[in-house]
Structure 1
Amino acid sequence: MASFPQSSTSPAEEPITSPSHLDRISYLYGHPLRNSLSPLLHKTIFDTLGLNWAQIPLSVSSSSSPSSSSYSYTRSPPIQTFLAHIRSDPKFIGASVTMPWKVSITSHLDSLTEDAQRVGACNTIFIREEKGRRVFMGTNTDCVGIREALLQNAPGGGVGYYCDKPALIIGGGGTARAAVYALRRWLRCSHIYVVNRDRAEVEALMAEDRERSLLSKDEHKAELIPVTEPAQVAALKPPAAIVSGIPNYPPKTSEEINTRRVIEAFLNHPSEKKGAILEMCYHPAPWTEIAELAANSGWKVVLGTEAMIWQGLEQSRLWTGRDVVQVPGLVQRVKDAISAAVAERARAEKP
């Protein structure tokens, strides 16, 4: 693998590249980006469409040597520096936004879609032409990825499997927020259990949700219900869908051990019918401890790469103006490329 030099200058001093040989440019904006498959995903889409476009990452950890791009990686520039560049670059067509910028960038854009407003975070920038000027829009396609991953893998087929049934979210961060929105708006779940090791994160999630609900006109209100003890689970209706958004590591602290027991109680709920679990963690390998527990308990496991692919397809739809999902063979090519990359990583991680 080639190595990528790290600049010794401050983030504000590092130039953002705009290679002359490309017709259009997308950026991946965040830090660190060592494990991101986004540039590969979009390269596959652009190549399939015959476009001389590319996505350029703007940050990666200093220990990384990624092979999916030939561009130098820099530290993640400040929002003002990033926005000044993309507003002045006629080649810019959009960006994927990841941590730590998903929330803070929202106030710097011209407008936000309903999805971004309701989730409370922006993971995608795209341009809308209005009266001869470029309007820089923010949206959230993470919720689209969650929606499509669950709908296309529903054990009973389609949204009807999840409608008016409970759901479970494991975690309390950005993935949890996108999942709440997707489970409410599109899957029409009756209520949503929340399990997380950090109760403060759950309280923050619920407080934000109450605030947004006051401003929302959506009449479908799936209540958020925190579940903190394994003994609570048997008395609850079983979830039809689970979205797990936590890292894959063995529980060590008392809070982590208790959370794992709550998760296991849900997975082994006495109900005979098991639903689908979307395991959002896919690095270093998509088959996690939770995925293994779920499969052994009879759940249909949907890998996180599915959600990542579908959110990326939605991003490219916004950037290209084309319904990329309808292009013959494109979705399968993307799935094959991501699957091969994940398999290669898994082999590299083995001792």
Structure 2
Amino acid sequence: MTTTAIPPRNFHIFGSGISFSISPTIHNTGFRYYGLPYTYDIRESPSIDEVAWLIQDPRFGGASVTMPHKLQVHKYCNHQTETARLIGAINTLIVKSDGDRQIITGDNTDWSGLHSIIANYSAKTQQQPNVGLVIGAGGAARAALFALHKAGIQHIYVVNRTLSVAEKVKHDFKNVFDITVLPSLGELSNNPDVIIGTVPAETTTEDQFSSLFGPQGLCIDMSYKPRQTPLLNAAQKHPEWTTVPGVEVLLAQGFDQFRLWTGRDLPKEKMVEAVMARDRELIKGPKNGML
């Protein structure tokens, strides 16, 4: 296809500690597949304010937003989708032109990616999960809680190191669905059918999750550094549990992002091939020890 009428656009991922991100692999592969004159790169910063100039650039096409910016990037948006506003976190910036003016919309695809994973699991097992647990209470956890609600899960729990943060999340969702805040994992009275981890893997240990698992269920970890996390290790000791690593969550929400930016579907087989190839390169290890 010809792309002469399509202006070049710059896409980015904004966040801190994201030098290992596979998002450029995902989206640049998709752009090349369709012959689009777009580029996607990593822009690390401790504050969203430090990359605001990229959002305001005339060639800005859109962005992925990760922690710690998901709760602050709204101030650079002209609009937010109803879902992003409800969740209180934005992970996707979408650009539309209004004459010479660029309109920035904040959206959230973390929840929809998770929802598709839960829906696929329910269809495969032909069982409706009833109890869900989210570990953490940040921007990713808000999307996870909303995904559990949209998946029809009736009893939703959240546990977080700082109890007041979890209580605020509960308060923010109170008019939509109920959340039970737990002071610790040991306070969980029902074994969950779905567990979603949203905290950095390096802050956790396998032992702290050992008592969570009932006869069967679905365990998702949104952290993907390392690929095999303590939460996934704990779940995999129970053969009837299905585990989903963070890279699969990233791919699921990335499919939705790409569609929002381009109106096209990501070529999923090409994506998987590209991600696997990058993983093989990382296993070999860069010479300077950096990702």
Q: Which category of TM-score, normalised to the shorter sequence, fits these structures?
A: 0.7 to 0.9
Alpha-carbon separation, structure 1, partners of 2:26 and 2:135: 26
Secondary structure in structure 1 of the residue aligned to 2:236: helix
Matching residue's letter, 1:314: D
Spell out, residue by residue over 1:221-259, the C-alpha distance to the aligned partner (whole angstroms, 9 max, x if none): 2422415253x44x42x32211112333485xxxx79xx
Matching residue within 104, 107, 120 for 1:139: 107
Distance 1:102 1:265 in 2: 31
Q: Which deviations, in whole Å up to 9, do the C-alpha atoms of 1:189-226 show, x marking residues without a partner?
A: 11112234x1x2x4312223313434xxx4xx242241
SS in 1 for 2:112: helix
Q: Which has the larger Rg?
A: 1
Q: Is the 8 A contact 1:150 1:302 kept in 2?
A: no
Residue aligned with 1:276, SS: strand
| CA drift at 1:155 | 5.7
Question: Given that residues 62 and 94 in structure 2 are in contact (C-alpha distance below 8 angstroms), is that contact kept between their aligned partners in structure 1?
Answer: yes
Partner SS state of residue 33, structure 1: coil
1:243 counterpart = 2:196: yes
* AA of the residue aligned to 1:30: G
Counterpart residue number, 1:161: 127
Which blocks of at least 5 consecutive residues in structure 2 are unaligned?
1-6
Q: Percent identity?
A: 28
Partners of 1:79 and 1:334 lie apart in 2 by 28
User: What is the aligned partner in structure 1 of residue 236 from structure 2?
Assistant: 295
Give 1:309 shift: 0.6
Query: Is the contact between residue 158 and residue 182 of structure 2 (CA under 8 Å) also seen in structure 1?
Result: yes
TM superposition score normalised by structure 2? 0.84
Q: Which aligned pairs between 1:243-282 and structure 2 lie closer than 5 A?
A: 243-249=196-202, 260-261=207-208, 263-267=209-213, 269=214, 272=215, 274-282=216-224
How many angstroms apart in 1 are the aligned matches of 2:201 and 2:250? 17
Q: CA RMSD in A?
A: 2.8
Give 1:100's aligned residue. 68
Task: State the one-letter code of the partner of 2:192.
Answer: P
Counterpart residue number, 2:56:
87
Q: Select the residue among 47, 51, 54 that pairs with 2:32.
A: 47
Q: Structure 2: how far apart are the matches of 1:250 and 1:110?
A: 36
Separation in 2 of the partners of 1:225 and 1:208? 9
Residue correspondences, number: 280
Q: How does 1:312-327 map to 2 (within 5 A)?
A: 312-322=254-264, 324-325=265-266
State whether residues 15 and 65 of structure 2, in contact with CA within 8 Å, keep that contact through their aligned partners in structure 1.
Answer: yes
Q: Aligned residue for 2:144?
A: 179
